[in-house]
Amino acid sequence: MKTLLIFNHFDKFPLITTLLFLFACNPKSENNSPPTIQNFQLEEITITKLQDGYSKGDFTITEIVQLYIDRIEAVDKKDLELNSIIQLNPDAIAIARKLDIELKAGKSRGPLHGVPIVLKDNIDTHDQMFTTAGSRALQNSKPKHDSYVAKKLREAGAVIIAKANLSEWANFRGKMSSSGWSGINGQTKNPYVLDRNPCGSSSGSGVAVSANLTLLAIGTETNGSIVCPSNNNGIVGIKPTVGLVSRSGIIPISFTQDTAGPMARTVTDAAICLGALIGIDSTDTKTLASKNKVYDNYTQFLSKDGLKGKKIGVYTDPLGKHHKVDTIFQTAVNFIKNQGAEVVEFNEILENDIGDLSFQVMLYEYKDGLNKYFKSLGKDASIKNLEELIAFNQKDSVELSFYNQEYLKMAQDKDGLDSKSYQDILAKMLKGAREEGIDRIMNEHNLDAIISPTGGPAWKTDHINGDSFGLGSSSPAAISGYPNITVPMGFVDELPIGISFFGRAWSEPILLEIAYAYEQGTNHREAPKFLEN
């Protein structure tokens, strides 16, 4: 493994010494070379440790943000070319300095004050950064407003340091795509084994958190796009109930299924971030249903005894596809039982046609949502509707170089959302996923939550044949719009895999309680080693 420069600002030596002491990192080598990737001073730091350092005056927000920026420039852009970051925020240091002034004056905005965070690049920011969806068609696109998510994070004192790469158009452009590839930024790599896939579509968000390029990230999910990259990159991901987090200012796929959510290295950090994202937003009607059902502090539900007395459903359909995953999952089930939970197994949640109905709903809503988003960019926008996007891709030298845009074309052919065909399909899908799906199975067995393997080990990235997922369990929660939390469950050789906890609408508190108890009792998270193969 070659030595990697993490930063080249040697005037920060006093800070480096302090951080080495605080976080018990390895000392410099005998030749006094700069720290390598394995002993990055902030490796695996948590929000609690960061805030403790701020309060004691051990370091400043500006110093912390600079360290992360330097690491991104060295590790993501140069030495390893992880390609998890599309663009750095030119304003990050200025924002950090202002937040330092506030702290010095005794003002803290809360637990996210001064916390570096990366946003998936389908989330609007009204600043010097573009919002691209990874597409060359939007490479110079600047939204007129912050997304609701960006607004809430800024209010909470988080420092948006960068935008993350993603599977282009959130992996809903065409067939045989490779997760983590975009026309703007190329292929994102898995930090555990570099020729493996990070999954997606929140690929860069997952890699940036896992590789310690940031403390937190925000991903988005329609079906699997938070939990799958969290699985492949060995981190925690929360896919909230649709309506808990506003989608205003997020490039859409499905009004029914889309949501943003936090990606972190610990359940605690993800819970802290989740509390900062909530809020009723008049421009996203889904959030109206969240009234009196959400909390601004989800850490109150974290309990090491959270599994005791719970009744857990074991969704077995993803099993039998990878014997190593099955073995690790059975170990997880045994742990859960030993912690005082009762488990009951079942093989089916959704009828077979629900996935097909969901795909059709996505196509209808994709056309409507994209056209509304393009309109929000104003009359000078480079792309004004879905038809123009399809035409742009057809002429571009990169966009269709190894996979097509069939899903865009299929969406373009759909009628509007006032059509009877769309409304009938939507109603049948929701009934099948909710009252005849998750709600039915949980009522029948009186369950607190359902568990299943999140996915298998990361596959080799393949631009000829596309993704090879193998197994997954995201669909029941995704199609119903219900919450899902994934936590590291162990390793298949050098590759991490996760366990998912999902359940009823607005059940984030109990899912967090259970997921935290599992995490604290197993501690499977390990930082990546950046292996060549």
CB contact set of 163 (below 8 Å; sequence gap of 6+): 85, 86, 87, 89, 118, 119, 120, 121, 123, 125, 129, 130, 131, 132
Are residues 141 and 98 in contact, defined by beta-carbon separation less than 8 angstroms?
no
Helix and strand element counts for the chain (H, E):
17, 13
Are residues 422 and 364 in contact, defined by beta-carbon separation less than 8 angstroms?
yes
**What pLDDT does residue 8 have?**
31
**What pLDDT does residue 17 have?**
35
**What pLDDT does residue 6 have?**
28
SS (H, E, C) 95-132: HHHHHHHHHHCCCCCCCCCCCEEEEECCECCCCCCCCC
**Is residue 9's pLDDT more than 70?**
no
Q: Which is nearest to 484 in space by CA: 500, 469, 505?
A: 500
- Average pLDDT estimate for 54-71: 98
**15-28+35-522 placed in CATH 1.20.120.530:** no
**What pLDDT does residue 533 have?**
80
pLDDT category at 18 given cuts 50, 70, 90 is very low
- Domain spans, the chain: 15-28+35-522
pLDDT, tens only, 472-531: 999 999 999 999 999 999 999 999 999 999 999 999 999 999 999 999 999 999 999 999
Q: Is 320 exposed, middle or buried (0-12, 13-18, 19+ CB in 10 A)?
A: exposed
Provide the token pair at 135: 């597409």
pLDDT category at 39 given cuts 50, 70, 90 is confident
**What pLDDT does residue 311 have?**
98
Provide the token pair at 292: 């009196």
> Between residues 15 and 161, which one has the greater pLDDT?
161
pLDDT, tens only, 293-338: 999 999 999 999 999 999 999 999 999 999 999 999 999 999 999 9
Question: Which DSSP symbol is given to 26?
Answer: P
Are residues 343 and 478 in contact, defined by beta-carbon separation less than 8 angstroms?
no
Are residues 132 and 138 in contact, defined by beta-carbon separation less than 8 angstroms?
yes
pLDDT category at 37 given cuts 50, 70, 90 is low
3-state helix, strand, coil in the chain (%, to 5): 40, 15, 45
- Catalytic residue IDs: 120, 201, 225
| Residue 482 three-state SS | coil
Question: Which DSSP symbol is given to 531?
Answer: B
**Is residue 5's pLDDT more than 60?**
no
**What pLDDT does residue 427 have?**
98
Residue with tokens 């009792």: 521
Are residues 192 and 495 in contact, defined by beta-carbon separation less than 8 angstroms?
yes
| Residue 433 three-state SS | helix
pLDDT category at 401 given cuts 50, 70, 90 is very high
Measured in degrees and rounded to the nearest 5, phi and psi for residue 293 equal: -120, 0
Q: Alpha-carbon distance 492 to 331, whole Å? A: 13
**Is residue 241's pLDDT more than 80?**
yes
**What pLDDT does residue 3 have?**
30
**Is residue 257's pLDDT more than 80?**
yes
| Residue 302 three-state SS | coil
The pLDDT > 70 percentage for the chain reads 93
**What pLDDT does residue 393 have?**
98
Q: Alpha-carbon distance 343 to 5, whole Å? A: 48
**What pLDDT does residue 38 have?**
63
**What pLDDT does residue 207 have?**
98
Q: Which is nearest to 287 in space by CA: 252, 261, 248, 336?
A: 248
**Is residue 268's pLDDT more than 60?**
yes
pLDDT, tens only, 65-113: 999 999 999 999 988 999 999 999 999 999 999 999 999 999 999 999 9
Neighbours of 52 (CB within 10 A): 12
